[in-house]
């Protein structure tokens, strides 16, 4: 890949250092354009983006692990925190009658 010329002094010896281009002639640094990581989002079963504080409803009966309790279809829940970096249980919430739980987003829909 050919690095661009320096926008300050038009120097041709620019190089990449971490997330910036650097010009050794004038010591000017500027960000590498076009290499931004896409923003991760948590999507419900219908493809809607979920955010902290959103109201969701459960679309499938969910068994509570280690208990005989079931979260029924149609239960409305307020998302406490949405974690896009989690592998499978992206939503931290408090389910009425059950307590704190982590839920997979694909079993919910935004209200």
Its pTM stands at 0.64
Superfamily of domain 42-110: SH3 Domains (2.30.30.40)
* Residue 36: alpha-carbon gap to chain centroid: 14
In the chain, residues under CATH classification 2.30.30.40 are 42-110
pLDDT of 10-60, one tens digit each? 889 999 988 889 999 999 998 886 555 567 899 999 999 999 999 999 999
Fold classification of 1-36 is N-terminal domain of TfIIb (2.20.25)
Residues of the chain with CATH 2.20.25.10: 1-36
- Three-class SS state of 97: coil
The neighbouring-strand residues paired with 101 are 93
Token couple for 62: 């969910």
């Amino acid at each position: 890949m050919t690095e661009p010329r320096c926008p300050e002094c038009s120097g041709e010896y620019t190089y990449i250092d971490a997330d910036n281009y650097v010009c050794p002639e004038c010591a000017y640094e500027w960000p590498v354009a076009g290499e931004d990581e896409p923003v991760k989002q948590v999507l419900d079963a219908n493809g809607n983006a979920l955010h902290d504080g959103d109201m969701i409803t459960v679309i499938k009966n969910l068994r509570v692990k280690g208990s005989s309790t079931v979260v029924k279809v149609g239960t409305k829940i307020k998302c406490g925190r949405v974690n896009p970096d989690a592998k499978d249980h992206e939503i931290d919430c408090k389910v009425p009658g059950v307590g704190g739980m982590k839920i997979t987003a694909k079993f919910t829909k935004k209200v």
